[in-house]
Amino acid sequence: MHAQFRKLILAVSIAVALGKVTAAELQSYTDTRQETQVWTTYALSPDLRANDLKVLVRNGKATLSGTVADEVHKELATDIALAVSGVDSVDNQIVVKSDYVPPEPKPGRDRSYGTMVDDAVITAAIRSKLRWSKQANGMTTSVRTRSGRVTLTGNADSQADKEIAGRLASNTDGVLVVDNQLVVDALKPAPVEGAKGAMEQARDDVADSWITTRVKSTLMSSNNISGSAISVSTNGGIVTLSGLVASGVERDLAIELAQNVRGVKSVRSSELRY
């Protein structure tokens, strides 16, 4: 789908440059662009990506085919197609089979477009968490995600830092398993106590608004926390969490994640209840 679209763009661009583009060629370009938009949205949808749906657009009419297990998913496919600018009508030929099971990816087959996007989002979320983390801030860490499986490589200053990096990765939404290959750099000299204190104080001098944003982002990207149900405020580096969570375990995890963000001096959680 994407290769075809790129080739068509190149052909049309050349034709336009030469002043030889026809109305039929422009319509073909429009049809393919709309097909690509519909297909890409299907590929990104958790409900539709596993189904091998086909899209054909001709002169504003989209024809859909394939198989899904639920009538709701068939209706969703129609709604997505109609949301694309220029698509005026949909001929939905998708077959609904209640016992339909999408085929498993073949061994060695490249990841789907939707999976690659998910993996990129996971990688970005973990990298952000590590950059914002007090303990992981100085680590040299590479993050690689493939089909929800995360591999961490690089160096950590201590075993505790390695474990924290692993927990931050494991608690990220969409992560299935973490292979923590970080190597503890035992030969790296530890800073003297006074210098260490100065470094920590410098890290603590962070704007409250920055801290609040990073704590919220960390909670929102964590798979064991209802981040949207937790309110976050910061005053002088002291973070206050409030709201309702599902359990004491979720509450403890929210506090731990907030405490780990660079610049946080302490966390008040008396208003975070379950």
Are residue 176 and residue 197 in the same domain, yes or no? no
User: CATH number of the domain that 73 lies in?
Assistant: 3.30.300
Question: What does the pLDDT average to over 218-241?
Answer: 89
Length of the chain: 274
Q: How are beta strands 238-244 and 183-184 bridged, if at all?
A: unpaired
Residue 234: predicted pLDDT: 95
Alpha-carbon span 205 to 209, nearest angstrom:
12
> Does residue 138 lie within any of the structural domains?
yes
Residue 258: predicted pLDDT: 93
> Which of 153, 184, 215 is the last residue in one of the domains?
184
Domain that holds residue 245: 193-273
Are residue 76 and residue 10 in the same domain, yes or no? yes
What share of the chain in percent tops pLDDT 90? 54
> Does residue 103 lie within any of the structural domains?
no
Specify the residue for token string 């996971």: 122
202 band by pLDDT with thresholds 50, 70 and 90: very low
Are residue 85 and residue 118 in the same domain, yes or no? no
What share of the chain in percent tops pLDDT 70? 81
Residue 228: predicted pLDDT: 73
Are residue 180 and residue 236 in the same domain, yes or no? no
Are residue 140 and residue 219 in the same domain, yes or no? no
Are residue 8 and residue 90 in the same domain, yes or no? yes
Residue 23: predicted pLDDT: 74
Alpha-carbon span 63 to 78, nearest angstrom:
9
| Exposed / middle / buried, residue 241 (Cβ in 10 Å: 0-12, 13-18, 19+) | buried
94 band by pLDDT with thresholds 50, 70 and 90: very high
The token duo for 26 is 């422009």
Where is 7: in which H helix or E strand? helix 2-18
pTM value surpassing 0.75 = no
Q: Which residues pair with 268 in a beta bridge?
A: 240
Question: What does the pLDDT average to over 71-86?
Answer: 95
Tens of pLDDT, residue by residue over 231-250, are 999 999 999 999 988 899 99
Tell me: pLDDT of 125 over 60. Answer: yes
Alpha-carbon span 232 to 272, nearest angstrom:
10
> Does residue 104 lie within any of the structural domains?
no
Average pLDDT value over all residues in the chain? 84
Q: How are beta strands 183-184 and 266-273 bridged, if at all?
A: unpaired
| Contact of 262 with 132, CB cutoff 8 Å | yes
| Contact of 58 with 89, CB cutoff 8 Å | no
User: CATH number of the domain that 197 lies in?
Assistant: 3.30.1340
